Chain A
Amino acid sequence: MSDQVAYFFQDLGQYLINGIAQGSIYALVALGYTMVYGIIRLINFAHGEFYMVGAFVGLFLIQAHLPFIIALPCAMLGSGLLAVTVERLVYRPIRKAGKIQALITALGVSLLLQYLGQNLLGADPRPFPDALENKTYMMGPLMISKIQLIIIVTTVILMGALRYLVMYTKIGKAMRATSYNLEAAELMGIDTNKIISFTFFVGAALAGAAGVLVGMYYNTVEPMMGMIPGLKAFVAAVLGGIGVIPGAVLGGLVLGVAENLVIGFWVSTYRDAIAFAILIIILLIRPAGLLGRNTREKV
């Protein structure tokens, strides 16, 4: 009996570690969703594709024998620049048209990038070369792989950097002001268009980093890889309270852990359904999310 209990806790610990690694990736992607939503109230469906593009840039650079430490920032730059281009060409003209129009446009951009990727790069999954030799460390009875460690450490570093950027720099202050009230920020002399572009850049760069990490974790990248993780990261952002930056991190971790517990203790085939079930439950019970505040719509 006590053996069984010990095994149970060992399994539980293992699933928690896997869940935190997975959740860190969701959290990185969710941050971009939440920042963009916080600033222009747009669900950027194409965010999952920024993550895919980051993964491909990382793949090409690592195939060119560049070390991980250089490939990661380059991939972040690549998806960031793509996001700024998309924002400038598509989202800026549609911003005034209305929420649903903007949402449909974002959907269009997402499909466009997916299928452009499929036609230009081929639909087959590509193996991700081993950038680092993989080792497994034992912490007592629990295993943690080197890649999981790298994912968690990179995520913590990037989140620390984001926190510094948003809370302690001038442009971060402008971002917070714009997200609090766009018109008022504009009246105070903030170039909101620039701030929105910058927010897209930062969000997409984080997603690009997540793409490289996930490529290393699962050893495979493909043009359609952004769709489901993108939706799940959105769920994570809603779970934490959309528009709230710490909420996205919390939501991502909760989602990653929940998913891995379900896979571990129940069935793996329902893996993708869990996120949506969580989304629907959270929207019904607490639409503002775990850390969000409730706002009523005014007439």
Chain B
Amino acid sequence: MNLVSYLGPLLQNAGVFIILALGLNLINGIAGQFSLGHAGFWAVGAYVGASYGVFFAPAFLPDFVNLLISNVLAIIAASIAGILVGVPCLRLRGDYLAIATLGFGEIIRIIINNLDVVGGPRGFTNIPHWSNLFWIYLWVVICVVMLANLLRGTHGRAIISIREDEIAAAAMGVNTTKYKTLAFVIGAGMAGLAGSLFAHAQQFIHPSSFSFMWSVIILLMIILGGMGSMTGAIVGAVFLTFLPEFLRLFGETVSEWRMVIYSLLLIFLMLLRPQGIFGKHEFNLKRLWPVKTGDAK
């Protein structure tokens, strides 16, 4: 088998999962709002982007323009879904929020399953093949830069303060509802973007591609990397995209046990290293090799 044709789709998936994990990391790790419905927003983006590609895209536009339109529409649709879910649910805390978002994720999937226009349970076929490695990783870079800038600014500080202590943040004048919703909507929008890129890479999507199991896998990615760390989210996403392929080297039986391995990984991570690989820190060369500056004489 050709190495490029083997690695290409894997790298595409890794890019899609990096965007998903970064979005969920913003909601769960940085804003501290525990959401279990990320696959729902991913599905909204994928189906909106794919619908544009199949039903509305004008053929005279070049593919990449169509892809960008599809991406933007997916971001808008998933953000709207994020507002619809976030505004009522973010009044809840902790475990209740987790269950409510889980419920919304499932509702979205059930609704798609019942929409005959997009294929319902048969899946959505003939989606134009527009996305490729270049566009996926361009979006990854845009997302990383946007998030890094967001987190260094006023809004990012406000979002982090909610994670650290919501009551104290509110007492210091942070509009907690506004910033929680902001984080949630940005995270959902990124999931929508990932969905549209995913749909145009796979050319076939199915409601069960967006089941609750995927919300958990994305969650595992950010827990593995360290909740609250962007580098962690990226490492976690890449690691868990390649892990099934790596397991395949040990034969089909091992890769059949993939989900068992994932769940054991989740349990042992929680028991032994709940902060994940990076904790809340970012990867930083200066931390690895501290450079003395200034008073070195």
Contact across chains for B100 and A111 when beta carbons are under 8 A apart: no
Say whether, besides A119-B256, A272-B106, A276-B104, A103 and B167 are in contact (CB < 8 Å): no
Contact across chains for B167 and A299 when beta carbons are under 8 A apart: yes
Question: What is the total of A-B residue contacts with beta carbons within 8 Å?
Answer: 108
CB-defined contacts of B263 to chain A, threshold 8 Å: 108-112, 115
Q: Is B143 an interface residue (CB 8 A)?
A: no
Interface size on A, residues (CB 8 A): 41
Say whether, besides A280-B104, A283-B92, A284-B91, A111 and B266 are in contact (CB < 8 Å): yes
In Å, the complex CA distance between A181 and B31 comes to 30
Say whether, besides A97-B274, A280-B100, A105 and B89 are in contact (CB < 8 Å): no
In Å, the complex CA distance between A244 and B157 comes to 39
In Å, the complex CA distance between A287 and B106 comes to 20
CB-defined contacts of A9 to chain B, threshold 8 Å: none
Within the complex, the shortest CB–CB distance from B21 to chain A, in Å, comes to: 15
Q: Is A63 an interface residue (CB 8 A)?
A: no
Q: Is B69 an interface residue (CB 8 A)?
A: no
Contact across chains for B219 and A104 when beta carbons are under 8 A apart: yes
Task: Give the nearest-CB partner of B259 in chain A.
Answer: A115
Say whether, besides A93-B271, A116-B260, A105 and B106 are in contact (CB < 8 Å): no
Contact across chains for B270 and A276 when beta carbons are under 8 A apart: no
Interface residues of A, dominant DSSP: helix
Q: Is B282 an interface residue (CB 8 A)?
A: no
Contact across chains for A277 and B107 when beta carbons are under 8 A apart: yes
Contact across chains for B106 and A276 when beta carbons are under 8 A apart: yes
From 225 to 271 in chain B, residues with beta carbon under 8 angstroms from any chain A beta carbon are 256-257, 259-260, 262-264, 266-267, 270-271
Interface size on B, residues (CB 8 A): 40
CB-defined contacts of B151 to chain A, threshold 8 Å: none
Interface string of B284-297 (1 = CB under 8 A from A): 00000000000000
Contact across chains for A119 and B270 when beta carbons are under 8 A apart: no
Interface residues of B, dominant DSSP: helix
Contact across chains for B94 and A99 when beta carbons are under 8 A apart: yes
Task: Pick from B46-54, B75-83, B108-116, B131-139 the stretch touching chain A.
Answer: B108-116
In Å, the complex CA distance between A161 and B189 comes to 50
CB-defined contacts of A43 to chain B, threshold 8 Å: 95, 98-99
From 222 to 280 in chain A, residues with beta carbon under 8 angstroms from any chain B beta carbon are 227, 231, 234-235, 238, 269-270, 272-273, 275-277, 279-280
Within the complex, the shortest CB–CB distance from A142 to chain B, in Å, comes to: 30
CB-defined contacts of B88 to chain A, threshold 8 Å: 280, 284
Of A99, A108, A235, most buried by chain B (CB within 10 Å of CB) is A108
Contact across chains for B99 and A234 when beta carbons are under 8 A apart: yes
Interface string of B92-131 (1 = CB under 8 A from A): 1111101110111011001101100000000000000000
CB-defined contacts of B34 to chain A, threshold 8 Å: 100, 103
Task: Give the nearest-CB partner of B121 in chain A.
Answer: A269
CB-defined contacts of B95 to chain A, threshold 8 Å: 43, 99-100, 103
Contact across chains for A231 and B270 when beta carbons are under 8 A apart: no
Task: Give the nearest-CB partner of A116 in chain B.
Answer: B260
Contact across chains for A269 and B270 when beta carbons are under 8 A apart: no
Contact of B260 among A90, A110, A112 (CB under 8 A): A112
Contact of B274 among A99, A101, A107 (CB under 8 A): A101
CB-defined contacts of A166 to chain B, threshold 8 Å: none
Q: Is B223 an interface residue (CB 8 A)?
A: yes
Interface string of B187-224 (1 = CB under 8 A from A): 00000000000000000000000001100100100010
Q: Is A82 an interface residue (CB 8 A)?
A: no
Say whether, besides A112-B267, A238-B99, A284-B91, A273 and B111 are in contact (CB < 8 Å): yes
Q: Is A131 an interface residue (CB 8 A)?
A: no
Contact across chains for A280 and B267 when beta carbons are under 8 A apart: no
In Å, the complex CA distance between A231 and B121 comes to 22
Q: Is A94 an interface residue (CB 8 A)?
A: yes
In Å, the complex CA distance between A48 and B213 comes to 15
Contact across chains for A119 and B107 when beta carbons are under 8 A apart: no
Contact across chains for B259 and A103 when beta carbons are under 8 A apart: no
In Å, the complex CA distance between A218 and B104 comes to 27
CB-defined contacts of B36 to chain A, threshold 8 Å: 107
CB-defined contacts of B92 to chain A, threshold 8 Å: 283, 287
Could you list 26 A-B pairs, sorted by A, with CB under 8 Å?
Answer: A93-B271, A94-B270, A100-B34, A104-B270, A107-B36, A107-B216, A107-B266, A108-B264, A108-B266, A110-B263, A111-B266, A112-B264, A112-B267, A115-B260, A115-B263, A119-B256, A119-B260, A231-B103, A269-B113, A269-B114, A270-B114, A277-B103, A279-B99, A284-B88, A287-B96, A297-B93
Seed contacts A280-B100, A297-B93; 6 additional CB < 8 Å A-B pairs:
A43-B99, A107-B36, A109-B263, A110-B263, A112-B260, A275-B103
